[in-house]
Amino acid sequence: MAEVVRSILRSAEGFRSREAGTFYSQLEDQTRILLETVKGITPGELEWQAEHGMNTIGMLLAHNAIVDVFWTQLAIFGLTEHDSMPALGIGMDDDGMPLAPDAGPPANLRGKPLAYYEDLISRARAYVKDAWSKLTDADMEKETTRERPDGGRRILNVRWAMYHILEHFAGHRGQIQLLRHLYHASVGAASK
């Protein structure tokens, strides 16, 4: 008899808005996949670059945590000043992004173990959960206007911000999976 595989996603419990709880559940599932992807990774692999100027896995992990906090502050709280330090213990620019085209990995992330990045993601997720769980269904429509570097404006609602946090996280998860593959295909193969 063929195995039955259940793929069920439920809205997180303890959220005032079922929709916000569903976005949170999706983000949690992406996090589960990401953490499975990096299980057992070494500090050397976390700071490996395919070429100078390219992101490292460690940079992408830190960046995901920072962006969770940034977009929650911007779109959920409507803040105009953003600071990830209280929530994460690192600043908005501490992921090293963007790197100069010829730059090596950022010095502030050198030698950091996986546990460091897992802690950042855990702190970011606690921040997100606390903020998102308090939202009502009506809050999902709340709009924020953001000034753009070109002088224009972007108007976004809370729902779009949650979607953006999710798709941003998933996009970088894919980059991390690709970097692990490239590392093992080049550096890992050379050490055998």
Q: Which amino acid is at 4?
A: V
Distances in Å between the Cα of 156 and the Cα atoms of 32, 75, 144, 152 are 28, 8, 5, 13
Distances in Å between the Cα of 97 and the Cα atoms of 58, 160, 179 are 11, 24, 16
Q: How much is the pLDDT for 58?
A: 98
Average pLDDT, the chain: 94
Q: Which fold has domain 27-190?
A: Four Helix Bundle (Hemerythrin (Met), subunit A) (1.20.120)
Q: Which has the closest alpha carbon to 37: 46, 50, 25? A: 46
Task: Return the domain boundaries, the chain.
Answer: 27-190
pLDDT in tens, 28-64: 999 999 999 999 999 999 999 999 999 999 999 999 9
Question: Is 187's pLDDT higher than 90?
Answer: no
Q: Are 91 and 83 in contact (CB under 8 A)?
A: yes
Question: Is 191's pLDDT higher than 60?
Answer: no
pLDDT in tens, 63-113: 999 999 999 999 999 888 889 999 999 999 999 999 999 999 999 999 999
